[in-house]
Structure 1
Amino acid sequence: MTAPHPALPARIHPLVRAYLDTRDAVDETLIRFGSPVHLIFPQVYADNLERMRAVLRHQLPGHRICYAHKVNQSRALVRTAEHAGIAIDVASPQELASAIGAGFGPMRIEVTGPKGEAFLRDLIDCGVTVNVDNLWELRRIAELAGDRANVPVLLRISGFPDSPVSRFGVPLAHVDRAFDLLTAHRGRIRFLGFAFHIDSGEPAERVRAFDACLELVERAYGRGLTPSVLDIGGGFRQVFTADADRFDGYVRALRESLLGHREPMSWADNTFGYHIDDGAVHGTPVFHKYANTIPATRMLADLLTAPLERHGGRTIAQVAVDNMIEIWLEPGKSLVDHAGITVARVEFVKELADGTVLVNVDLSRDAVTPADQEVMVDPLVLPSPAHRPGPIGDGSAPHRGAGDIFPCLAPVTESGAVGVYFAGRLCLERDLITNHKVWLAQRPRPGDLVIFPNTAAYHMDLSAAAASMHPLPAKLAVVHRAGSFQVYRDNDYEPLIPVGVPPPRRLPSRRPPLRRPPQRWPVRPDSAGAP
């Protein structure tokens, strides 16, 4: 029996799967709004939020979730967060305006990241909580506030033992200088507590940071301050892969190809951060985060139940409760995990001089991939109606990249597995959407749809390019109500829109309001049970 080709199957939320299985809904969306499009699923976001809330409710009576707005510019997601009653973390004047426009009051807004003086003035006027990045910010807040404000602040700390140097936060060694400012300006600054952010995903590093901040709480009380909040930041990982064993198998095959032991699997000899030395592959690849299999809820639960040696082995949650410390966190990626996909259309397929097959689509790499990463999950290919030899679900051989996850999808007619690279529409050699080879059971054809999974976290907005005057992909909200799917422009989505009612008109708007109610599509019988 022939061994299967290496593959990186993507994990897909059941609601997203149900939408893609309802092919009439997908086709109508592309007819109405064109291609490419970013699709946001607010109900998946709400599901992720509820799972995280369940962990917190079980461990911590006092907590606050601040959705990290920076992860996606979607208004639909911000409105979903506001409707759910959580707080929001913003990092720019534009994000602040977005949060206020979505209904967040100052008591539910935290502002993080580096801030200039003009921004600080606005924050003081708004009365939001300022997560202070450095001593200059703290000093300027005191000076700008004068006697007219009591600005709520958190002090972000960095430089923890055995942690990499960070460009953000006040180093531990400088905390006494911060205490001097806080005590000298008690009437102008209301000191809430400390904050940190650990992006490594290493549990022990986060525990050390928490313990160090507990010690700072004790020192602050010794200076007459009364901190009651400890903000543990974000950095809770996503789970991209649907099959950890196949992911590991792909990486093994990739390493073999870099050594020349099998056909090339990377574009232009890209090593993805590996290096070859003495006939062996060494180093950590740039795509290592895509290997994660631990969901954010388990990461959070493990953190809250981690014992603290300095506190007699009591857990982080127990120490927080015993000392009346409120835990804040700033999840972004974990809340939008699987809550977004990007859909593009195949424009043409070409073969290069060395036999490499390129599948060119109508978007650029920057619209779906953070600039410094390689997204190590396979895109899904949905054949266009013209290329389907039989009805959906006729039992034909599956189309690689979709068939393993969506067995109802019909294959294209050409036979023979083919390894391809997906290429973008810019006139730049670097515009390769996949620098790793993707094996498909059939060669795609013009008009087929390509689904890029799990693009809601930074992929859609962090570096989307408008080079060559190409417009950015439209962003749409997809919801499932009363047995059917409805699609709204992102700016027009509201969590409480009744089924079949057209979205409200908002002026001014970047896009013209819809002129007709959203389309509704019944869910296919084989999708029953999706949320």
Structure 2
Amino acid sequence: MSPPAVPAALHPVVAAFLADRAAVCAALERFGSPLHLVFPQVFTDNLTALTEVLDRARCGSRICYAHKVNRSSAFVRTAARAGIGVDVASAAELRSALDAGFTPDRIEITGPKGLPLVRAAIAAQVTINVDNLWELARIADLADTAVPVLLRLSGFPGSAPSRFGIDLAAVGEAFDLLARHPDRLTLLGVAFHLDTASTQERVRAVGECLTVIERAYARGFTPSVLDIGGGLRQVFSADAAAYDAYDEALRAGLLGQGPALHWGTGTFGYHVAGGVTTGTPVFHKYANTESAADILAELLAAPLPGHGGRAVGAVLADNLLDLWLEPGKAVADRAGITVSQVEFVKRAGNGATLVHLDLSRDTVTAADQEVLIDPLVLSEPGESAPTGVFFAGRLCLERDLVTQRQVRVARMPAPGDPVVFPNTGAYHMDLSAANAAMHPTTPKVVVHQSDSGFLLCGDEEWR
């Protein structure tokens, strides 16, 4: 019996490309396998959807593309041409943004920074999103002109502890540093980033940040920016009910109450005991069905406690505050896929069918997370015969199962068949790509849909 299917949500441009098997094969023939394919047109569509939400709000705003989600030059150039900002987190990303055409006033540098990165940010004259008091003091020591800074805050009531940011209790010390160096530090505003999908948690953080901004004005500063960070979700599954059905079948198999869909003794983070499964699985957030644009619209429309029930967007507008956000996953959502080829198929000693690919697990997901959207096998047309298989990687490591759970395929794959991993554009391609055994880094190729078909070029060549 084959497992339930977990179909991927595909952007129409990506779906059209995958429906053109000749175009997919041409990409593999020209650039080799495996291959990361990026779609700037999808990136632009995602950006447009977020921009439309912000345009309907009364407050000023700026989107800063979070470069760290993907190293793609095509993505960062697309962002530069769109006129938005960019959020960089390393010296290499800073150089990439400048090379793409971003001017310093459109670049924000975030994350924890050592002394070399602080020096690079000051030299480039970009906005610095300050992570801690040490960093703020180093900027004051090293700058010879006023550096625009945002204070990243943390320690919000009701939120999980974070290793990032300046705790709310230490804001006074930050203000003291700013006051001592008015010629070297300019307080542009405050910022936060929460690893949550909860609108209410973000609303509480906004309220705390507004209190800090009021304190800043009382100290003589004139902040004008509230940066709410990123964390907007992606939509992976085309069928939320199918996702739930697979998860239910997977847990039943772990309990021995149905066919086993897992490999070996793996439990995907579930705790199995007493005839029940508990805990949080180590899947990416595949179950989300709400678009990033809808999540942002919900936040801007949410009533803000202590402000007469007015919406977040209206309060920011009334206080002449600009809203900054740093979406990465949201603008790369469905804008990238990874394609490999089947090398061979074998039967394992436990009776499972292994489909070996010419990539490793780390090429398409972080090693501790499971791919829970079905890869697409682009077989030659033939009679459908659904079956369950495990996709195996090319490394000589037992853990290099690309899927550690059984995947439904329409028919048994054959050597040479292309296998597509959907929606790998945000983090999946670059977070922990493996090149052990001297395997080369998987190249990136841009796919552009035109009236004459699909055009392909190397990521660095895209203009």
TM-score interval for Structure 1 and Structure 2 normalised by the shorter chain: over 0.9
SS of aligned partner of 2:306: helix
Q: CA deviation at 1:436?
A: 1.2
2:457 is the counterpart of 1:461: no
Q: CA deviation at 1:4?
A: 7.4
Please name the residue that 1:513 is paired with. Answer: none
> Contact 1:124/1:149 (CA < 8 Å) preserved in 2?
no
2:11 is the counterpart of 1:16: no
SS of aligned partner of 1:420: strand
SS of aligned partner of 1:311: coil
Q: CA deviation at 1:165?
A: 0.6
SS of aligned partner of 1:230: strand
* TM-score normalised by structure 2 residue count: 0.98
Please name the residue that 1:506 is paired with. Answer: none
SS of aligned partner of 1:370: coil
Q: How does 1:239-388 map to 2 (within 5 A)?
A: 239-287=235-283, 289-383=285-379, 388=380
Q: How does 1:86-235 map to 2 (within 5 A)?
A: 86-145=84-143, 148-235=144-231
Please name the residue that 1:431 is paired with. Answer: 400
For 1:365 and 1:151, locate their aligned partners in 2 and report how far apart those are by CA, in whole Å. Answer: 42
Q: CA deviation at 1:353?
A: 1.2
For 1:366 and 1:450, locate their aligned partners in 2 and report how far apart those are by CA, in whole Å. Answer: 16
2:461 is the counterpart of 1:492: yes
1:410-469: CA deviations, max 9, x gaps?
A: 23x6x7432111011000101011111102231111011100000000010110011000
> Contact 2:235/2:291 (CA < 8 Å) preserved in 1?
yes
Q: CA deviation at 1:295?
A: 0.6
SS of aligned partner of 1:267: coil
Q: CA deviation at 1:482?
A: 2.5
Q: Which moved more, 1:130-139 or 1:59-68?
A: 59-68
Q: CA deviation at 1:60?
A: 3.5
Q: Which moved more, 1:288-297 or 1:167-176?
A: 288-297
Please name the residue that 1:500 is paired with. Answer: none
Q: CA deviation at 1:263?
A: 1.6
1:253-292: CA deviations, max 9, x gaps?
A: 1111111011211112211111022211111212161111
Please name the residue that 2:57 is paired with. Answer: 59
Please name the residue that 1:48 is paired with. Answer: 46
Q: CA deviation at 1:216?
A: 0.4
> Contact 2:284/2:371 (CA < 8 Å) preserved in 1?
no
Q: CA deviation at 1:21?
A: 1.2
Q: CA deviation at 1:371?
A: 2.3
Q: CA deviation at 1:89?
A: 0.2
Please name the residue that 1:498 is paired with. Answer: none
1:462-501: CA deviations, max 9, x gaps?
A: 100110000111100000122321001000001xxxxxxx
SS of aligned partner of 1:65: strand
1:120-166: CA deviations, max 9, x gaps?
A: 11211111000000000000100111xx2100000000010011110
* Cα RMSD (Å): 1.2
For 2:213 and 2:167, locate their aligned partners in 1 and report how far apart those are by CA, in whole Å. Answer: 15
SS of aligned partner of 1:97: helix
For 1:115 and 1:127, locate their aligned partners in 2 and report how far apart those are by CA, in whole Å. Answer: 15
Unaligned stretches of 5+ residues in structure 1? 389-409, 495-531
For 2:348 and 2:281, locate their aligned partners in 1 and report how far apart those are by CA, in whole Å. Answer: 27
For 2:150 and 2:58, locate their aligned partners in 1 and report how far apart those are by CA, in whole Å. Answer: 20
* TM-score normalised by structure 1 residue count: 0.86
For 1:45 and 1:277, locate their aligned partners in 2 and report how far apart those are by CA, in whole Å. Answer: 44
Q: 1:109 to 1:288 in 2, by over 3 A?
A: closer
SS of aligned partner of 1:310: coil
> Contact 1:71/1:332 (CA < 8 Å) preserved in 2?
yes
Matched to 2:265, the amino acid is D
For 1:220 and 1:461, locate their aligned partners in 2 and report how far apart those are by CA, in whole Å. Answer: 39
In the alignment, which of 410, 435, 440 is matched to residue 441 of structure 1?
Answer: 410
For 1:482 and 1:144, locate their aligned partners in 2 and report how far apart those are by CA, in whole Å. Answer: 53
For 1:89 and 1:324, locate their aligned partners in 2 and report how far apart those are by CA, in whole Å. Answer: 23
1:68-116: CA deviations, max 9, x gaps?
A: 0000000000000000000000000000000001111100000000111
For 2:13 and 2:60, locate their aligned partners in 1 and report how far apart those are by CA, in whole Å. Answer: 32
2:445 is the counterpart of 1:476: yes
Matched to 2:16, the amino acid is A
> Contact 2:59/2:321 (CA < 8 Å) preserved in 1?
no
In the alignment, which of 24, 29, 44 is matched to residue 31 of structure 1?
Answer: 29
Unaligned stretches of 5+ residues in structure 2? none
> Contact 2:377/2:419 (CA < 8 Å) preserved in 1?
yes
SS of aligned partner of 2:216: helix
Q: Which moved more, 1:457-466 or 1:267-276?
A: 267-276
For 1:373 and 1:430, locate their aligned partners in 2 and report how far apart those are by CA, in whole Å. Answer: 12
> Contact 2:80/2:101 (CA < 8 Å) preserved in 1?
yes
Q: CA deviation at 1:296?
A: 0.4
Please name the residue that 1:393 is paired with. Answer: none
Q: CA deviation at 1:33?
A: 0.8
SS of aligned partner of 1:289: coil
For 2:376 and 2:218, locate their aligned partners in 1 and report how far apart those are by CA, in whole Å. Answer: 58
Q: 1:31 to 1:51 in 2, by over 3 A?
A: same
> Contact 2:3/2:261 (CA < 8 Å) preserved in 1?
no
For 2:329 and 2:58, locate their aligned partners in 1 and report how far apart those are by CA, in whole Å. Answer: 22
1:337-377: CA deviations, max 9, x gaps?
A: 00000000000001011111110000011111122211210
Matched to 1:114, the amino acid is P
For 2:204 and 2:452, locate their aligned partners in 1 and report how far apart those are by CA, in whole Å. Answer: 48
